[in-house]
Structure 1
Amino acid sequence: MTTVLVVDDSRISRMLSRQFLLQKQPTWTIAEAASGEEAIARLDNVTPDLVLLDLNMPGMGGLAAVGQIQAKCPSARITLLTANVQDAIREKAESLGIGFAAKPITEDRIEQIIAEFGK
């Protein structure tokens, strides 16, 4: 059973991610968090295989949460899903060993993330 943790301060973004993930993988379990802090707390009860992580959130942003998520769930694949598509952000994601996907969240974008996860 694959579990995905969707971390985004936008409820609409979380809903779209959930919808598109379940359209492609209806047996997957989807958990949600609205901030980096909430994501870290959710790891006490959820062990994600895949984390979709927004960059800019109030409080702890995505990049600040990466290290803690990796420490608690070292086998989880993390993809930064953000509208901030600057080269520096892409390079930072790469240096952290995480994926990068540009918003907006679309069915095709989620399909690409799922395909990368399967590799």
Structure 2
Amino acid sequence: MTFQVLIVDDSKLARMAIAKAMNNLQPGWTRVEAANADDALALARSQTFDIALLDYNMPGRDGLQLAGELRDLSPGIALALISANHQREVVSQAHEVGAIFLSKPLTQEALGQFLSEVQQSKRSM
């Protein structure tokens, strides 16, 4: 099964690192990148995504706000909030909007575990 993945981070370098890890883990999956929440929402309104990987700290709306908006548009989307900010409140808020929290710097191992869990949960649906 092929998945559509939205990668949202204001840092081009971070998007490239995630894309490289994704390519190593799931080369057949489609990746689309956005540099901010507005671009991500425009993409999500025009196409369906199975997974969204969201940076927490972005100009304008942060990843938590974006996660809630993406969840409203697509209730079945798998969300991961990625941040170097490990404060309990941020992690808790991520879980409240139905997102998994992944620490920055994001390792290929942590991303792979998240993607495997998403694959398994989508298969069992």
Bin of the TM-score, shorter chain as denominator length: over 0.9
Distance (Å, rounded) in 1 between the aligned partners of 2:67 and 2:115? 19
Task: Name the structure 2 match of 1:73.
Answer: 74
CA shift for structure 1 position 2: 0.5
Q: Look up the equivalent residue of 2:112 and give its one-letter code.
A: E
Within 5 A, what are the aligned runs for 1:27-66?
A: 27-66=28-67
User: What residue ranges of structure 2 are gaps of 5+ in the alignment?
Assistant: 121-125
CA shift for structure 1 position 44: 2.4
Distance (Å, rounded) in 2 between the aligned partners of 1:12 and 1:109? 18
TM-score of the pair, normalised by structure 1: 0.94
Task: Name the structure 2 match of 1:110.
Answer: 111
Distance (Å, rounded) in 2 between the aligned partners of 1:68 and 1:49? 15
Q: Deviations over 1:39-60 (max 9, x none)?
A: 1111122311000001110111
Distance (Å, rounded) in 2 between the aligned partners of 1:44 and 1:95? 23
* 3-state SS of 1:44 partner: helix
User: What residue ranges of structure 1 are gaps of 5+ in the alignment?
Assistant: none
TM-score of the pair, normalised by structure 2: 0.89
> Does 2:20 align with 1:4?
no
Distance (Å, rounded) in 2 between the aligned partners of 1:96 and 1:44? 19
Q: Please, what is the CA RMSD of the aligned residues? A: 1.1
Of residues 109-118 and 22-31 in structure 1, the stretch that sits farther from structure 2 once superposed is 109-118
Work out the number of aligned pairs and report it: 119
Task: Name the structure 1 match of 2:26.
Answer: 25
Report percent identity of matched pairs: 35
* 3-state SS of 1:32 partner: strand
Task: Name the structure 1 match of 2:14.
Answer: 13
- Which stretches of structure 1, 4 residues or more, deviate above 3 A after TM superposition? none
CA shift for structure 1 position 65: 1.1
Q: Look up the equivalent residue of 1:77 and give its one-letter code.
A: A
CA shift for structure 1 position 21: 0.8
Distance (Å, rounded) in 2 between the aligned partners of 1:32 and 1:101? 18
